[in-house]
Chain A
Amino acid sequence: MKEKKILPVLMATILTVAVVGCGNGNNTNSSTANNSNQSKTEASETGKINFNEEPYTIKMNYAVLGQEQPDLSKIEAKLNEVTLKEINAKVDLEGVSLYNTANVYALKASSGEKMDLMMLMPGSSYLSSFAGRKMIRPIDKEIAEWGPALKETAGDLLPAGQFKGEQYAVPQITSGKLTFGFTLNKNILDKYNIDITGVSSLDDMDAIFEKVHKSEPSLTLLAPEVSSSDMASFLVYFDGLGNTYGGLTDDSGTKVVNLFETEQWVNTAKKVREWYQKGYISKDVSTSQDDGGTLLDNGKVFATASGSIHFNGGATVPIPKRTIALHPPVLTTADSQLFLWAVSSSSERPDKAIQFLNLLNSSKELSTLLKYGIEGEHYELNKDGTVDTSKNENYRNDWLMFGNYNLMPLDSSFVQSSGISADKYRAREKEWNDKTEKSPGYGFMFDPTPVKTEVAALDAIVQQYRKVIGNGSVDTDELLKKFNDSLYAAGLQKVMDEKQRQFDEWLATKGK
């Protein structure tokens, strides 16, 4: 119901915007041009940050869940002290509701509202469409000029911010790549004396599930970690290169294949169906709104099909958990695009925006400030170098979206729950990161614009079938064929051909 109302509201807003926008559209354009000329001349003259001009205010938009943090203004004041000194600019932080980011950014862009830095989350959903519609601008020149630290710290991630060969966004440096597998309740494992070392495939899980099911027949054994997704999708490796339609599997090389016809996906879906029929999975799994992760923590399920397996092998809080990784970690473009910082086309000073990102990524002080808040007020520093944020409610920032993860201290609750000591944590993480490979498609971003009609139709079909098949709640053999037939009827081949074409082109330019 709410969604339906968006259209009239949008229309009304658009109208107001059109009236206002037409009036001063030319002015803003010319002033942008002037400004960029200015900054160019300044740059070439001095090569350094100009402190003689009026400090520019950088508007920074990012996604929040729910409310803005109460102490944001304090953080901002502290931040501005540093930025005024370092880059002669102020930063104005403004959160945008996560579920509304696309609409809010679109409205801001079409109304000409001031916007400099905007966070795209997840960037894989927005980068190509925003760049394709010229909502965000290329920043190659600015990065070359003002981003030496960026190139150093986020250098190998930068390809993930590219679109059609141009840099449009800066990927956020976050913790290591996660992989997929199972997360299990350790109490139950211990109770029935189950050893999970050496478990590395779906078939290995049969024995474990059977043992637990025999002893506790009423317990649900398996659920998807997130209710909006399905189990088979969690348990198969696939680099979709921008969307679900055609991508790379483990053995497809650089050939784009249809995920729902691959042996891995089909077999996984059949396995999940088998478990469903044996009663390991809730009959309501496809309609349930409860995330498996929550159910696991509450002891309502024994295991989840999980996409958040980390090097630490489990957790201790809120309940002891063990994890089984089914696949080594592989970094895809979409992974590095979880948080992307892009510069709006309407930004008057893209150079300042990049200067700020550059500063933020190289400064431990600012990274820590934006992530944890102010020492003594929002966090305490522990002896082992980790921070304790448990006593603070006024500045909580659960995502790693600001600053350089490698520079900031670790959150003690996070380290403790992994059951590893703080100094070992970093070492183990580094080992894991070194082990992480990059997908052959890393840095490639599919542009769906030429086939957007087909993609829209495919999106609707995938929602119809993927979840019920992937959760085993319907007859796999019968529906899988119907699913693939509908996909091809809606133009899957056309989308895959287009993707292959773009991918080959990209590979060719990369090879040069």
Chain B
Amino acid sequence: MKATSSLRLENKPRKKIHWKSYIPLYLLALPALIYLLINNYLPLYGMQIAFRELDFSGSIFSGKFVWFDNFKFLFATDNAWIMTRNTVLYNLLFIVVGTVFSVAVTILFNEIMSKKIAKFYQSAVLIPYFISMVIVGYLVFAFLSSDNGFINHSILKPLGIDPISWYSEPKYWPFILLFIHTWKAMGYNLMFYTARIITISKDYYEAAKIDGATKWQQIRHITLPLLKPVIILTTILAIGRIFYSDFGLFYQVPMNSGALYDVTTTIDTYSFRALMNLGDITMSTATGVYQSVVGFILILIANAVIKKISKEDSLF
């Protein structure tokens, strides 16, 4: 009894010092915290307009409460199923394929002996990340246009194959979109993984080599386990955004072609199409609220699952 209480007494002042010693660090973080508060937390108050009627005669918060009426348009048609399916499946596909590709390419780049060449490749794959989706849309159009597109005009025609009207054939688009997304996003993910890989001590590999491990064994037993926390982190963050989609990818790249809507409609493009003419900000806020609430729940679930499997890798 006595022993424990004395232990507590000993602990208390130590904790205080502990906390105080962090004050300079907190001060350093203060501007960012204020920014977060203003930019990310204060607007949460505005979420209520998703549940209100739009009324400009008073302040924007003076509209009558209509609760979930503003959400109805999202679920009014059989589009509700299509857009949710597309959004989630595409994102899952992007997460899986994107991660596998990025990790594989990162490891390959890491094996390149000449650092100069490796740097060049790393920069080269990053370039697509900086190209606007509108421009990507036209690059794709240059390839796929029915009359003058590169594929129809310079590949299929000389081979004697009938031209394909790409913008009215939905079956090709899941692959086209996956390809473009991977092409565009890979460089960015690559940076994460490269940053982790270069911190892995060379000692591990040397020790492995002495023990006679092959290249494949080194990757499987050293590189991948050490990359695991970064992969899990990026995956959890990606899962949190699983109800969002890259508007440019799904709207600009297929040129908003009506024939492709079955495979290109996502929650974002649907709400854009539905509300563009109506201009009702309460309904667009409702879309945003819906996406973020579901995303938040998904993050919690993903984190809980990971916590079950391996506790030290979970986010919180």
The answer on a CB contact under 8 Å between A284 and B273 is: no
Interfacial chain A residues near B141, Cβ < 8 Å: 287
Measured between C-beta atoms, what is the minimum distance from B74 to chain A in Å? 9
A507 CB-CB contact with B under 8 Å: no
Residues of B within 8 A of A (CB): 38-39, 42-43, 45-46, 49, 54-61, 69, 72-73, 76-79, 132-134, 141, 145-147, 165, 167-168, 246-248, 252, 255-259, 261, 265, 268, 270, 272-281, 283-285, 288
Partner of B281, one of A22, A106, A125, A130: A106
18 A-B pairs (CB sep. < 8 Å): A1-B132, A7-B288, A21-B59, A21-B60, A106-B56, A106-B279, A135-B56, A286-B168, A287-B145, A345-B57, A453-B73, A456-B280, A459-B273, A459-B275, A463-B261, A466-B258, A473-B168, A489-B78
B77:A11 contact, CB within 8 angstroms: no
Smallest CB separation, B128 vs chain A (Å): 15
Whether, in the assembled complex, A452 has its beta carbon less than 8 Å from a beta carbon of chain B, the answer is yes
Max chain B CB contacts within 10 Å: which of A7, A134, A466?
A7
Instruction: State whether B277 touches A17 (Cβ < 8 A).
Output: no
- Among B261, B277, B285, the one with the most A-chain Cβ atoms within 10 Å of its Cβ is B277
Q: Is A189 in the interface zone, CB < 8 Å from B?
A: no
User: How long is the Cα–Cα vector from A461 to B277 in the complex, in angstroms?
Assistant: 13
| Chain B facing A: main interface SS | helix
Q: Chain A: residues with CB nearer than 8 A to chain B? A: 1, 3-4, 6-8, 10-12, 14-15, 17-18, 21-22, 25, 102-103, 106, 109-110, 125-126, 129-130, 133-135, 243, 282-284, 286-287, 289, 345, 448, 452-457, 459-461, 463-468, 473-474, 486, 489-491
In angstroms, how far is the closest chain B Cβ from the Cβ of A22? 6
Q: How far, in angstroms, from A115 to B42 measured CA to CA in the complex?
A: 28
With A284-B147, A287-B167, A490-B77 already in contact, the answer to whether A452 and B278 are too (CB < 8 A) is: yes
Known: A25-B59, A345-B56, A453-B72. A459 touches B247 (CB 8 A): no
Chain B residues with Cβ below 8 Å from A468 are 168, 257-259
- Cβ contact of A110, chosen from B59, B165, B246, B272, cutoff 8 A: B59
Q: State A468–B147 Cα separation when bound (angstroms).
A: 17
Are B79 and A460 interface neighbours, CB within 8 A?
A: yes
How distant is A274 from chain B, measured CB to nearest CB, in Å? 17
B43, A12: Cβ atoms closer than 8 Å: yes
Assess A14 versus B46: contact at CB under 8 Å? Given A286-B168, A457-B73.
yes
A-B residue pairs, 3 tightest by C-beta: A134-B57, A283-B146, A456-B73
Complexed CA–CA distance, A243 and B76 (Å): 19
In the complex formed, the residue of B with least CB distance to A461 is B77
State whether A134 and B258 are in contact (beta carbons under 8 Å apart), knowing that A15-B43, A459-B273 are contacts in the complex: no
User: Cβ of B43 and Cβ of A464 under 8 Å apart?
Assistant: no
| Nearest A-chain residue to B145, judged by Cβ | A284
A489 and B77 contacting across the interface, CB-CB below 8 Å: yes
Residues in A neighbouring B133, C-beta threshold 8 A: 1
Residue from A4, A453, A454 within 8 A of B268 (CB atoms) = A4
Chain B residues closer than 8 Å to A286, beta-carbon distance: 167-168, 257-259
